[in-house]
Structure 1
């Protein structure tokens, strides 16, 4: 590539792109929230806390029963073969043949607040 003179238009384009990249980098750094990973060994139950609210999990008839403290929480499975049924006061997780699976707990204000890894 031959050397070319730096024109005013090319210089402005470089400055705009550099400003855009620095702005995006700073925005992403400021808004970053780290997802917490909680390990829950179900022997026979476990208790964990997310945002100062206590959750308890236990094994009931081959399923995992997670009691929710309020209705503002949402559970999503990480694997598609896990079935989650929601009741008024708890979730029933059917792990199938998995002895180890992971779910994500989030509230209505933040997405992907905590990941919980269950071991049966």
Structure 2
């Protein structure tokens, strides 16, 4: 196979594939956005915005309640031991007492839009 002559069809195929790969690489590089990292100091409330939607977080006795602006959002804890209960209009997060925790927010269109570090 290595001794075969490079035909015009094979050469065109190689050029098309290289052009496609370079185009995809440039497109992904140009459209890449770094996820936001926000800080929320719960004393006892805080508010933050992600993609022009406002989230409110409130520290209650043993949990943190985060109000949803709409049902288009999902959250994912950075620590898998964090307990999260999703309600119709909010999430209830049960962190370790007096500790920090981080949650990633994402909408239906993008993944991992923003990370929020909560400080109690």
Could you state the TM-score of these two structures normalised by the residue count of structure 2? 0.79
Shift of 1:27: 2.5
1: CA distance, partners of 2:27 / 2:98: 39
Is structure 2 residue 77 aligned with structure 1 residue 77?
A: yes
Q: Once superposed, which parts of structure 1, at least 4 consecutive aligned residues long, lie more than 4 Å away?
A: 14-21
Shift of 1:17: 8.2
Aligned residue for 1:39?
39
For structure 2, list consecutive stretches of 5 or more residues without a partner in the other structure: none
RMSD, matched Cα: 2.2
Aligned residue for 1:116?
116
For structure 1, list consecutive stretches of 5 or more residues without a partner in the other structure: 1-6
1: CA distance, partners of 2:48 / 2:56: 6
Contact 1:81–1:96 (8 Å) recurs in 2: no
Shift of 1:96: 2.2
Shift of 1:43: 0.9
2: CA distance, partners of 1:43 / 1:96: 16
Could you state the TM-score of these two structures normalised by the residue count of structure 1? 0.79
Aligned residue for 2:54?
54
Count residues in correspondence: 113
